[in-house]
């Protein structure tokens, strides 16, 4: 009898959800089997991953007090999610039982643009003049199509972001930790200081190759915030909703312990989607799926969460995009369509939307937010990949909405360094209100409110959050230059 991997949510109230999860991590399979004891005889194989608590709505409202709280902070959970393999013929029967909900555990993949390696132009030494780049910047809403233009330098992107204004006041992302939820980051090259490191997980933080997708994301965070530090959450060793759910729970646990990480970067998503009739509970159709609720829990704790819009835009979608998710109205979905997250499109240094950047409105499904993306970030530059960069020439340069999103994450880290009391709403408002409008005036479904500008967002927060930014802390000299 064929079996399918699913997430079974079980009504199992506990007044100490974090303590439950910590105890379950010691014997994850036994904890899962105990939670599913009422389904004995159904032929279910429980995975060796600790059940994940889903917290009460009332408890989640109090998560804002979590940052910096003592490690004794805990909260009530009403259900737990158990990853399991279930005989396909028994799924409907289980789903019909009181106290159990069966959710899909769908594949998630990196938002990258590997197929375009040959199409992307070679490095152009003449494209490093700052004045020329700024003179070429447009607001006409044009689109960069294949073959793509030459990449630009980190210095060029920093100039366009206006980071010098913030750096001049002494802020470069110090004291901020960025959680990179991805396939792993190279800790020899990038400042990985923690992450998910438990026996029940196949990957360890800081151990990825320098050519990994996560290493590219780390490099791109450091463009705007070279003094930020990295927590590595390498879930793409288990590339599905369970993996992401597990990593967001880990973020929440760490946030409870010491108030970090302060934000997370998520450059992955779903390629291709089933119809609502085929899978009504699929992650792109049901906002109550545990992954969406867990993301909202994390944001409620004060963590800023960013998601890549995706690379299934028209007219040049990535090669792994399926027809069901290409273009306006269907290429932004899942967690990227949550109102609370910051969803990032991609533009080049000339302010042209890159042709693969996914377009809104988001897939129309109850509870999700149609007006996506929120803002655009810069892509097609030499961050991790390219001449003289740590990742070498494995790819011509950092690309995709995968690169644009950590650029925005770096700006968020920069702003939080200056305004440590800023909330996720404060940060999102600052980015959208000060973005450089592209195309037709006002919001559009190509680049949202426009491409971000660190200097303008910083000035906005000075007015709104308080006239004085946070305290200035000394920086290590090797973090200030172009190493990152």
Whole-number pLDDT of residue 64: 85
Instruction: Classify strands 263-266 and 192-195 as parallel, antiparallel or unpaired.
Output: unpaired
Considering Cα of 237, then 295, then 284, then 425, what sign does the dihedral take?
negative
Tell me the whole-structure pTM to 2 decimals.
0.94
DSSP 307-338: EE--S--SSS--TT--GGG-STTTSS-GGGG-
Distance separating alpha carbons of residues 308 and 3, to the nearest angstrom: 32
CB 158 within 8 Å of CB 224: yes
Nearest to 326 by CA among 316, 312, 305: 312
Whole-number pLDDT of residue 9: 98
Phi, psi of 378 (to 5 degrees): -85, 140
In the chain, what are the domains? 3-105 (3.30.70), 110-479 (3.40.50.200)
CB 237 within 8 Å of CB 407: no
Whole-number pLDDT of residue 473: 39
Whole-number pLDDT of residue 440: 81
Residue 343 three-state SS: strand
Distance separating alpha carbons of residues 306 and 146, to the nearest angstrom: 27
Which residue in this structure is represented by tokens 């545990």?
290
Query: DSSP secondary-structure letter at 444?
Result: B
Distance separating alpha carbons of residues 451 and 429, to the nearest angstrom: 14
The helix-helix angle for 400-418 and 454-464 (nearest 10°) equals 40
What are the residue ranges of helices labelled H in 210-331? 213-224, 241-258, 290-300
Whole-number pLDDT of residue 125: 43
Nearest to 229 by CA among 240, 221, 238, 237: 221
- How many Cβ atoms from other residues are within 10 Å of residue 473's Cβ? 12
Whole-number pLDDT of residue 201: 84
Nearest to 387 by CA among 196, 128, 142: 128
Beta bridge partners of 304: 263
- Mean pLDDT, 10 residues at a time, the chain of 484 residues: 94 95 93 96 95 93 75 89 97 96 96 56 47 55 87 95 97 98 98 92 93 97 98 92 96 94 97 93 97 97 97 94 95 98 96 96 97 97 93 88 98 98 96 93 95 97 73 39 53
**How many Å separate Cα 36 from the centre of its chain?**
31
Distance separating alpha carbons of residues 40 and 46, to the nearest angstrom: 11
CB 2 within 8 Å of CB 88: yes
Which residue in this structure is represented by tokens 């085929």?
278
How far, CA to CA in Å, does 288 sit from each of 109, 172, 293, 334?
21, 37, 6, 11
């Amino acid at each position: 009898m064929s079996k399918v991997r699913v997430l079974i949510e079980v009504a199992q109230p506990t007044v100490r959800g974090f303590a439950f999860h910590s105890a379950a991590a010691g014997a994850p399979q036994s904890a899962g089997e105990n939670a599913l004891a009422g389904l004995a005889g159904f032929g279910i194989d429980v995975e060796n991953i600790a059940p994940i608590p889903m917290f009460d709505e009332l408890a989640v409202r109090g998560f804002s007090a979590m940052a910096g709280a003592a490690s004794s902070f805990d909260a009530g959970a009403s259900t737990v999610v158990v990853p399991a393999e279930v005989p396909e013929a028994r799924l409907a029967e289980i789903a019909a039982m009181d106290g159990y909900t069966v959710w899909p555990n769908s594949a998630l993949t990196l938002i990258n643009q590997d197929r375009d390696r040959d199409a992307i132009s070679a490095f152009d030494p003449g494209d490093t003049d700052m004045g020329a780049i700024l003179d070429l910047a447009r607001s006409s809403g044009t689109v960069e199509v294949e073959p793509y233009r030459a990449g630009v330098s980190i210095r060029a992107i920093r100039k366009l972001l206006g980071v010098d204004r913030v750096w001049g006041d002494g802020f470069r992302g110090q004291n901020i930790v960025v959680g990179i939820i991805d396939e792993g980051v190279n800790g020899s090259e990038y400042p990985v200081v923690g992450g998910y490191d438990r026996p029940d997980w196949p990957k360890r933080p800081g151990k990825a190759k320098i050519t990994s997708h996560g290493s590219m994301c780390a490099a791109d965070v450091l463009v705007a915030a070279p003094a930020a530090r990295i927590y590595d959450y390498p879930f793409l060793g288990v590339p599905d909703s369970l993996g992401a759910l597990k990593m967001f729970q880990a973020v929440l646990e760490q946030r409870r312990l010491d108030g970090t990480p302060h934000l997370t970067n998520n450059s992955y998503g779903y390629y291709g989607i089933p119809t609502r009739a085929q899978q009504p509970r699929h992650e792109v159709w049901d906002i109550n799926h545990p992954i969406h609720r867990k993301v909202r829990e994390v944001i409620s704790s004060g963590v800023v969460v960013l998601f890549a819009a995706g690379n299934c835009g028209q007219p040049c979608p990535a090669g792994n995009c399926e027809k069901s998710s290409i273009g306006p109205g269907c290429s932004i979905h899942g967690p990227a369509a949550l109102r609370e997250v910051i969803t990032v499109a991609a533009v080049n240094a000339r302010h042209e939307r890159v042709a693969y950047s996914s377009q809104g409105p988001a897939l129309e499904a109850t509870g999700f937010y149609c007006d996506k993306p929120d803002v655009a970030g810069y892509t097609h530059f030499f961050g991790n990949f390219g001449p003289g960069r740590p990742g070498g020439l494995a790819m011509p340069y950092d690309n995709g909405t995968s690169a644009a999103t950590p650029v925005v994450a770096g700006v968020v880290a920069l702003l939080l360094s200056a305004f440590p009391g800023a909330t996720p709403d404060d940060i999102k408002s600052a980015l959208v209100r000060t973005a450089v409008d592209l195309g037709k005036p006002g919001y559009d479904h190509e680049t949202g409110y426009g491409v971000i500008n660190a200097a303008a967002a910083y000035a906005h927060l000075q007015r709104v959050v308080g006239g004085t930014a946070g305290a200035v802390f000394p920086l290590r000299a090797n973090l200030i230059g172009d190493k990152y």
